[in-house]
Amino acid sequence: MNENIFMLDPAEIKERFAKTVQIKDLHIKRKLPGTVVIEIKERRPFAIVNIGSTPAIMDNEGYIIAKSGLSSSIYRADLGKLPVIRGVGRNVLDKNGRLLPTETMFIDQTIILLSSFLDIGSVQIELSDRDNVSVYIEDILRVKIGNYDKIEKKIGVLKALLIPAKEKLEKVAYIDVRVPDDPVIRFR
């Protein structure tokens, strides 16, 4: 490019990249005498989300950064480390395909809380019914969370219950923390 760097329009460059959802932030700097530096901050994979029957990768702000064909995605090395969000309908996506703020905040908070004591890659969250959310740990243990209310308290109760029950997980049918002041462990 043999153009004068003072003729370069940073707003035009930002506009070109604006539709690239994988880019979180972009900064353009002129470095005299003849260099333009473009710094790009990428969105990071946060969870695999099944929208209907289509798997996608979302970041922690609810942006869908990769769709279908995930095995050939540039993110494939991270797939086993990501939690899976199931039961997401198109009704919880905005017109740009981003998860609605309520769902995004719930998913974000739940994953962060669970990651403090679990391998988050072994977690699945079932969101098909907002009032009956369940978390599955290592595909064997169902945790009934209920609605989005008091999620921090519910996860805190789960953490306290999991520590003594860890050796007996195969005998546990489910843990119910929908009423965090009165949790239930149901044995098989």
Q: Specify the higher pLDDT residue, 122 or 67.
A: 122
Structural domain boundaries in the chain = 10-42, 47-187
Quick one: how many helices (H) and strands (E) in the chain? 3, 11
Confidence bin at 34 (pLDDT 50/70/90): confident
List CB contacts of 148: < 8 A, sequence separation 6 or more: 102, 106, 130, 133
Tokens of 81: 């480390």
Sign of the CA dihedral running 176, 166, 104, 82:
negative
Q: What is the pLDDT of residue 54?
A: 87
Residue 71's pLDDT is 59
Mean pLDDT in residue range 77-92: 88
pLDDT score at 61: 95
Given a cut of 70, whether residue 70 has pLDDT beyond it is no
**In the predicted structure, residue 1 carries a pLDDT above the cut 60:** no
Q: What is the 3-state secondary structure (H, E, C) of 92-152?
A: HECCCCCECHHHHHHHHHHHHHHHCCCCHHHEEEECCCCCCEEEEECCCEEEEEECCCCHH
Task: Please give the C-alpha separations between residue 109 and each of 1, 114, 123, in angstroms, as whole numbers.
Answer: 46, 9, 14
Residue type, 136: Y
In this structure, how many other beta carbons lie within 10 angstroms of the beta carbon of residue 108? 18
The domain at 47-187 falls in which architecture? 3-Layer(aba) Sandwich (3.40)
Q: What percent of the chain has pLDDT over 90?
A: 53
The pTM for the full model equals 0.84
Give the phi and the psi of residue 117 in degrees, each rounded to 5: -145, 0
Contact 139, 180 (CB under 8 A): no
